């Protein structure tokens, strides 16, 4: 997988208007799911794995295509209107 952890963290923060309350400055689940209604628990578990606070064997609903999930999340973050939040 081609994952840019720092970019994901930054883009999630921007898409959630600055939510950085969990695990060393990452977005919380409530704000994550508010980004777009198409986000699923599989997408959230992918984020949990990427950010490093869960091990793969501890997650029970990872997407079968993690790269596609990552790309979906980034795309939704970039599509979200964040004009009120500094770049």
Residue 11 belongs to a domain: yes
Instruction: State both tokens at 65.
Output: 């295509």
**What's the CA gap between 16 and 1, in Å, rounded?**
25
Q: Hunting for tokens 């970019």 — which residue is that?
A: 7
- Tens digit of each residue's pLDDT, the chain (87 residues): 799 999 999 999 999 999 999 878 999 999 999 999 999 999 999 999 999 989 999 999 999 999 999 999 999 999 986 665 555
Residue 84 belongs to a domain: no
Give the total number of structural domains in the chain: 1
Residue 62 belongs to a domain: yes
Residue 46 belongs to a domain: yes
What is the secondary structure of 9-76 as a DSSP string? Answer: HHHHHHHTTS---BTTTBPPHHHHHHS-TT--HHHHHHHHHHHTSS-GGG-S---S-HHHHHHHHHHH
Residue 86 belongs to a domain: no
Q: Which domain holds residue 13?
A: 5-79
In this prediction the pTM is: 0.90
């Amino acid at each position: 997988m081609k994952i840019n952890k720092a970019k994901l963290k930054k883009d999630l923060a921007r898409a959630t208007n600055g939510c950085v309350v969990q695990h060393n400055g990452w977005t919380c689940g409530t704000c994550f799911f508010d980004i777009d209604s198409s986000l699923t628990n599989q997408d959230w578990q992918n984020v949990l794995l990427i950010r490093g606070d869960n091990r793969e064997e501890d997650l029970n609903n990872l997407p079968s295509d993690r790269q596609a999930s990552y790309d979906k999340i980034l795309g939704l973050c970039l599509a979200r209107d964040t004009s009120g939040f500094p770049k």
